[in-house]
Structure 1
Amino acid sequence: MSHKKHASAFFGVLLAFSFSAFAQKDSLFNAAENFHQENKPLEAVEAYKNIGRYFESIQDYDSAFHFYRIEGEYIKEHIEKPTRDSLLGKVYMDFSFVALGMRNLDMALPYLDSAEFIYEKLKSYGDLARVMNNRANALNEMNRFQEAIGYLLKAIEYGELVENKESEDALLNSVYNNIGKNYLSLEDWSNAAKYTQMAINIHSSYEINNAHARLNLSNAYIGMDSTELAIQAALEAEEIYKEVGFAYGIIAAKNNIGLALKNQGNWEEASKLFEESILMSEEVNYPLGKLEAMINRSPILASNGQFVKAISEMKEAEELCLLYDDNQYLKSVQENLAELYEKTGNTSLALTYFKSFKALDDSLKSSENVKNVNDLLLRYESSEKEKQLAKQEAEIQTQNATLAIKNSQLAYLLSGLGILILGGTFFYSRNRSLQKEALQQAVIEEKEKGLDAVIQATEEERKRISKDLHDGIGQQLAALKLGLQNIQKRAGQDIQPELMEITGRFSKSADEIRQISHQMMPRALMEAGLVQASEDLLRNTFQYSDIHYEFEHHGMEERLDERIEISIYRVLQELLTNILKHSQANHVNIQLLKLKNKLTLLVEDNGQGISNENSKGHGQMNIRNRLDLIKGTVNYEPGSENGLLAIITVPLD
């Protein structure tokens, strides 16, 4: 039995900086301050970035996020466009790296959306390729393999538009390596070896990426039981990791070599390497390195009769898997525990863990996932072959134009037939599973229709009441106020104070009616759209408070579907009310971003966060109900200053 997860899946989100380079972090703080004092803004930005990367390299993600935030604020204040936009894109990328390092994948995706928006505007194809690459990393970790491959193919398309050969090679090296990682997740070892070898064949100027590719190739060879090749690739990776001073990579390479030796039957040497990996992981505070070593060492401990220690380590490993939300490792832990309990005679627990292992294994390694990924890559490879054929045909055309045309027609005919066959096979295989899902989906849709009907009826009633208030009692109050003002002009001085008081009360009542009408259904939302309505809502919510706010919006030139606009407005209304009542904040930042087929709303305050009581109240239920109807999601994260960041995402297609 062998266990191996694609180790560089985690390394893909870490940066290639040596620990020794940041041994004196005080010098980084001094550098940032000095550059600021000397009015060297670009150097100061780089210094803040390096501080963030230092903390990222030691997995102090809160501090990393904090200094990237400082970097972003500094850029906004001191750098002019278009350089400012380009630098802010890199900050968003760094935020996504931190989120990926924290294994908070839902948090990473909106930051990548922001980076993509900026780089699309700047036509920065190399940066767009990196965004797609990082998005694929996140989706791969979420086991959304087909989507990940789609973004990797987009990364290749953008990479081919990069004019600098060195940059293009570095991008393609990373993309092919990530495709290989996808296949490692699916345990399709031959395709994993194929694409990681393609990555190795394209040398990257970032040496750490060359090491990652060799480590992944080692993983693939381990899966194929090619132990000598696995050891060779891991040794090559280890050498590069040592050169760049990347401790996590050295640990992973040792684990790979140990696993290959164990598979050869050299358990004594393997056990020594696993012990080294555990000790080194504890020294540099790398829990995942320790986790992998414990998983691999478990059968060796069992063979020596050390069942208590083996079970204890696997229970610790299980907790780490749950902490990092890592199902790939968890699958291996469950398999180990099933075998350990079976060997110790605890058949009940053995059966429990075996069932859990089998269910998880089936979900991670389904033939449907493999087929979907293969289909996408087949289309890409067919496209690449067609490009090569077109080039060859152009050269032959001068010699034999007629033959070239016939060959071209035949090629297109065969290509169309192949796509038709693939499509038919795909839809046939999908048909049975779709039928099983149909009943469950019907039940869900009925529930959604019921909730939708309630909310739609509520909104229609809001519109009616708002109109009645505005056109009915609101108009009457306004008319009465004018009448009183006319009487006041003709009345004597002795009753002027009373008339002024009555007029003031009418004005206050009219304002309250107008405010209620606006809250029921703001005219700005119906007439001008979500941006104008949001600006009015922010102004009206915070005008009598000590809370300052910033509102930014991008890509919101066109109106959205009315249901989406109303739902997002109500969600924002609920969030702002919570901030006003409970947060004790003095600053709020709101961003509304439309990027291609996705709408993202970010609401961040610097208050006291969200309590358990507030997280389960009616307001939160209303938010989720609203978002469910438009297929939206909401996630809450700690803000940059101990407050709360709400991330709302809504698909627009």
Structure 2
Amino acid sequence: MFQKIHFPFFISLLLFGCFFFSCTRKTPTVNEVTPVSPYHQYITPAEDFYAKGIYDSAYYYYNQIRTQSNTKIEGDKIVYALLKMAAIQQTQGDYVGSEATATEALSFFQKNTEAQYKVAIYNTLGINYQHLFDYANAIRYYQKASNLADTPLQKAVIQNNIAVVYMEQKRYKQAIQLLTILSQSPIVPNNLEHQARVLDNLGVCYFKIQDSRSGAYLKKALAIHQQLQFDYGLITSYSNLAKYYQKSQPQLAFTYAQQSYTKATAIQSTEDRLLALALLMEVSTPSQLPTYTKHYLQLNDSISKVKQIAKNQFAKIKYDATQERNENLQLKAAKAENDLALANEKFNNYILFFILLLLMISVVLLYFYLQNKSKKEKQAAIYESETRIAKKLHDELANDVYQTIAFAETQDLHNPVQKETLLDNLDKIYTRTRNISRENSLIGTGDSYEMELKEMLSGFSSSHVQIILKDVNVIPWNKVADEKKIALYRILQELMVNMKKHSHGSFAILRFEADSKQYLVHYSDNGIGIPDPIPSKNGLHNVENRIHAIGGSIIFDTSSSKGLKIKLTFPK
């Protein structure tokens, strides 16, 4: 079994590392102010540690760029950081972790992402899948990288990687077909390193199918590597020639295996040392075997521990950075929530202030509206009273005075009968004048209110009409508001006037009542009742208006065929 080819990983770094490094460094102009960003803060130490092979520190700083950069506007910088992190993980043999890191970079690809970034990530994924023996995915991503490669050399290197996958799948004829095309490419004479790589792989393929051309390709590749002094190429050429001579010339095979081990030790490539020791175990004599076996086991244990430590270290760096980022996000979220709460509180205060302001304005407007309304109502009441007084004076008192004057002018007042008639007429005029004065006089609302109310109601009694009052004292008049007392006084006065002028009844009954919520006054007479509908100039319209003004109600009982029944209610 030939040594596993190391060209895919190494060449990907050789081709793409310089490109990305050149893309990430920029010398600011004299007037340019470089913004302080995570990328500018961490890229220099990351690149310096990477160049020195201090991969854990380099990984940490690349990860700082990855976690702290703005994902919306710095996608290319994050892709570059992820690419270098994936490369570091590959170097330490963490192919699963490297695959996860490179896959994360795919999520930051956009339409304007540089093609070279995509080529590098796809090539890195191909290498990871190749080492994880997922050959189908390895070829798929190598093809993606090859399709986007923009130079013949890049495309040729990636095609060589595909040929290596064919070799690992033991599809040697397909590998030979692809490698032959690459060996005949015009770029080969100008790229000795690429030429040696293709020739070495062709030699291995021909050896696997027992083709005699194998030795010539392997020796030509070795000669080019010796000319270039390319250490990794020499390690591979020595190893492949040791396998080639293992059966035919064991001693020469042992010499090549030792040369591979020596060169790997010189450049401190532990993976290549381990592969060279495995090869020495195969080609060494029985006496030498225990020594190489012991070295192999010790080195293998050491490499396994180093790989595991590296894996854990990379995982911890990512985890710590993620935790720190989450904590920062939580702090930002808490601050944003606090700011939002303060803003909401401030907004609510504004709303409350606005509502209170509207309420105050509404109260003021309502106050002036009620004042204006009350003023208008008082003016209307005054006008109504004046109109009613004028009507009474014109319709009743003026006619009586005129008739009395005419009587006095035309009759002999020395005649006792005529004199008595004149005195009767004057007495009627006096009575009418007193009644008009009483109807429009000031109403006392103090302790004497109940007595004045009784006197007013009793004043409508005559030889023809009897007024009956019941339970006037059940209402605690000292607890009734003054405006309600005045309104009730005028309402009952209107009822009495209406009864005397229109009902033609012989008696009227008023009964007072109180319950938990309101006061009630029941009125009834045995007159002719009221027409339906009530005439607009009837005094009962004034009764309705007054009772409604104090929040009360009036109910006419129309079920009775004779007389008038009314129930007045108003709240306590």
Q: In proportion to residue count, which structure has more helix?
A: 1
TM-score (structure 2 length as normaliser): 0.46
- Structure with max Cα Rg: 2
Q: Which has the higher contact order (CA 8 A, sep 6+)?
A: 1
